[in-house]
């Protein structure tokens, strides 16, 4: 298993190249995704079409599959799969280079149907290369996130810890930037306490397409010193509880200006 940085480096160097992973039908979108997945995990993706990838493979220990919803934000290195609305019913697949809440930047093959334009089905060729392109989010759509190796990260962390102990200096946590949107997570981004002004808890309404607002009150407030964990950040607001995807407490937010951050987790 490769590290995330190794995966991102592969994506960068792949632009402008052609990939025919299975040797058939030239340079298909599936070929590019398979070349990437094989490099990162050592595995191979299966399916009659790109749309089958999330359902025709056992990703245990190799990757996690996420279905796109109103709260999802892709990450660089994700494999993104479109459903049967594309590719004449076969779907489409690409690899995310960068993303925010509104769009994804991907590297992909055969978007313009130039992957196989001449020659036999085995050994044929085409003019279209792996190309960087911007797309909006769609439904249905799935994102496959590799379980990257952490070896390099752990080694670097150990080195930093050792150096800090050697000089007996305090290692400061990363800077928290409440103005940068971060997608819903199962683990908290930061922990902090409510300041002296207190924080009224709100509900988020709307959608990615129409825009969000936090005009609805949740019916309770947090007071000075209350400990809060933030699991999602959007437009300066922070989701204070994830729990289940729906139900009590799953859509509770505070204005992050009221949060005094004490620890940054990621």
Strands (E), the chain: 63-67, 79-82, 92-99, 103-108, 131-136, 141-146, 190-194, 199-207, 211-222, 227-230, 232-234, 237-239, 252-255, 259-264
Which among 6, 75, 92, 232 is annotated as catalytic?
Answer: 92
Surface-to-core class of residue 72, CB atoms within 10 Å of its CB (0-12 exposed, 13-18 middle, 19+ buried): middle
Residues 17, 130 contacting (CB under 8 angstroms)? yes
Measured CA to CA, the distance from residue 237 to residue 243 in angstroms comes to 18
Distances (CA, A) of 117 to 19, 26, 96, 132, 207: 14, 8, 26, 20, 40
Distances (CA, A) of 250 to 39, 70, 243: 37, 14, 6
* Ordered strands of the 211-222 beta sheet: 211-222, 199-207, 252-255, 237-239, 232-234
Which among 6, 46, 108, 118 is annotated as catalytic?
Answer: 108
Residue 46 appears among annotated catalytic residues: no
Residues 79, 143 contacting (CB under 8 angstroms)? yes
Residues forming the active site:
29, 92, 108
């Amino acid at each position: 298993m490769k590290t995330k940085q190794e995966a991102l480096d592969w994506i960068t160097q792949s632009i402008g190249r052609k990939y025919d992973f299975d040797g058939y039908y030239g340079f298909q979108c599936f070929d590019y995704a398979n070349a990437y997945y094989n490099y990162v995990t050592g595995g191979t993706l299966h399916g009659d079409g790109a749309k089958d990838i999330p359902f025709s493979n056992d990703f245990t220990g190799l990757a996690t599959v996420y279905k796109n919803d109103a709260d999802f934000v892709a990450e660089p290195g994700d494999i993104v799969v479109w459903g049967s609305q594309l590719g004449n019913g076969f779907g489409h697949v690409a690899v995310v280079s960068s993303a925010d809440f509104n769009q994804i930047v991907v590297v992909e093959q055969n978007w313009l149907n130039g992957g196989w334009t001449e020659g036999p089905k085995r050994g044929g060729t085409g003019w279209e290369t792996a190309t960087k392109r911007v797309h909006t989010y769609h439904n249905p759509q799935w994102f496959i996130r590799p379980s990257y190796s952490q070896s390099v990260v752990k080694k670097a962390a150990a080195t930093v810890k050792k150096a800090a102990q050697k000089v007996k200096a305090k290692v400061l946590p990363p800077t928290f930037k409440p103005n940068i949107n971060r997608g819903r997570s199962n683990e908290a981004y930061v922990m902090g306490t409510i300041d002296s002004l207190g924080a009224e808890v709100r509900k988020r309404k709307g959608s990615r397409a129409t825009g969000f607002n936090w005009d609805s009150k949740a019916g309770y407030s947090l007071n000075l010193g209350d400990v809060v964990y933030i699991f999602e950040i959007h437009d300066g607001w922070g989701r204070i509880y994830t729990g289940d995807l729906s139900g009590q407490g799953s859509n509770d937010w505070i204005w992050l200006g009221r949060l005094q951050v004490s620890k940054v987790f990621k």
